Structure 1
Amino acid sequence: MAKDAVDRLTPMGVMVLALLREGDMHPYEMVRLMRARHDDRLLTITNGTLYHTVSRLHRAGLIDELGIDREGNRPERTTYALTDAGREAVMTWVQRELPRIDRPADFRIALAEAHNLERPEVIDILRARRLALVEDHARHRDGLHAAREKSVPEQVLVEIERQEALLAAELGWLDSLLDRLETQVLPWGPSAFQNSDRYRAQRKAAQQ
């Protein structure tokens, strides 16, 4: 997989590729699934943006057209499938963004799609992320302590104070997640949910 192909992926592009890992779909189904799963928590979802993204992915060779269907008075719908290059691209993007602590918006997308990676790999990546978070937390904690020793006014420290608290909370959450992954209490991977009633109901509703 060429690095520039991964670099050009947008968060929407990653989510489209991840959806197609679940099965062949037309863009209307993609939009409906994203909204049913409340993916608008992570990014802005509009029909125009998604259709433009699908077009770009197709031109890049990351997805293929399977055919065009038309039922009754419905508009034509083109069904797409993931190519091998697209499958590799989404996994590479998640592998790259999951350990980073400097791009929180992209991390949320990577975390939402981390189930596309195998459990041992996710554990290793999150351990690397934890090391970076520990360093960043210590930097904020020590900087806050030093500033207070110098009698820096509290009102100019509130942002640092907040960030230190958020980093501490994320470390606590991450430790819990790693424990659940390592003890296999947390089901993991596509096979853990594709056969669930809720999953099947979502796919069926989105296909209407």
Structure 2
Amino acid sequence: MDAVLTPLGVLVLALLREGDMHPYEMMRLLRQRREDRMVKITNGTFYHTVSRLEQQGLIAEVGVDRDGNRPERTTYTLTGAGPVALEDWVRLHLGRGDDTQKYRVALSEAHNLDRAEAIELLTAHRDALAAEYAAMASGLHNARARPVSEQYLIELDRYAALLRADLDWTDSLLARMASEDFPWGVGALTPENRAVHEAMRKAAQQ
């Protein structure tokens, strides 16, 4: 079946790209990394998401462990279709900004794409931001020239400031990504990076 991914499903696929895990470990890692800032994580929705990904053929069971008196834990792995679905979803939402949550998740997983493709998609997003900011700034200028009382422009002024800040940040990110010194992808992790990730995984397994 065609995979219809939720933002939480994307985060699960991204975790399993790092290695096989059981759901409890995945949930703890997501919370340790503060991914729950972007996606609400509850036990019910998480296990439902894992079950749905398995039904879609994107992940599969690879073993069941039992540690002492703890409940059995089923470990999952990505199937061949998993990384493809992950990359397609990131590709679809990285260049857009019409859904803030999906864009944030796509941005957090942009490293799953090739650097050049990620830069191209983020540039498209940047251009859309620039066009929206220009339109908003022009509208504010015209309103003030009429003149419209500032008390009616507070929210518009705030939104224009956020757009300007987002545009400046995106320009800065694109400049950093253009340099080969900016690490990109799993292969770019230093031994120190890998040690930190491994320590977090071990802590999540407890």
Whole-angstrom distance in 1 between the partners of 2:129 and 2:137: 12
CA apart distance, 1:193: 3.2
Alignment of 1:28-43 (within 5 A): 28-43=24-39
Secondary structure class of the residue paired with 2:76: strand
Aligned to 2:6: 10
Whole-angstrom distance in 2 between the partners of 1:152 and 1:134: 24
Whether the 8 Å contact between 1:194 and 1:200 is mirrored in structure 2 is no
1:204 corresponds, among 199, 202, 205, to: 202
Secondary structure class of the residue paired with 1:29: helix
Amino acid at match of 1:63: I
* Deviation by residue 1:61-118 (Cα, 9 ceiling, x = unmatched): 1111112111211111111111121111111111111111211111111111111111
For structure 1, which runs of at least 5 residues remain unmatched after alignment? none
Whether the 8 Å contact between 1:62 and 1:83 is mirrored in structure 2 is yes
Whole-angstrom distance in 2 between the partners of 1:78 and 1:47: 15
Alignment RMSD (CA, Å): 1.4
Secondary structure class of the residue paired with 1:72: coil
Whether the 8 Å contact between 1:193 and 1:199 is mirrored in structure 2 is no
Q: Kindly tell me: are residues 136 and 116 of structure 1, through their superposed partners in 2, closer, same or farther at Cα, counting changes over 3 Å?
A: same
Aligned to 2:170: 174
CA apart distance, 1:185: 3.0
CA apart distance, 1:207: 2.0
Does residue 137 of the first structure (1) align with residue 133 of the second (2)?
Answer: yes
| TM-score, normalisation: structure 1 | 0.93
Whole-angstrom distance in 1 between the partners of 2:190 and 2:74: 23
CA apart distance, 1:41: 1.2
* Deviation by residue 1:112-167 (Cα, 9 ceiling, x = unmatched): 11111111111111111111111001010001111111112211211111111111
1:100 corresponds, among 96, 103, 117, to: 96
Whole-angstrom distance in 1 between the partners of 2:199 and 2:39: 23
Whole-angstrom distance in 1 between the partners of 2:133 and 2:187: 36
For structure 2, which runs of at least 5 residues remain unmatched after alignment? none
Q: Kindly tell me: are residues 191 and 51 of structure 1, through their superposed partners in 2, closer, same or farther at Cα, counting changes over 3 Å?
A: same
Aligned to 1:112: 108
Aligned to 2:81: 85
| Residues matched between the structures, number | 204
Whether the 8 Å contact between 1:67 and 1:79 is mirrored in structure 2 is yes
Aligned to 2:50: 54
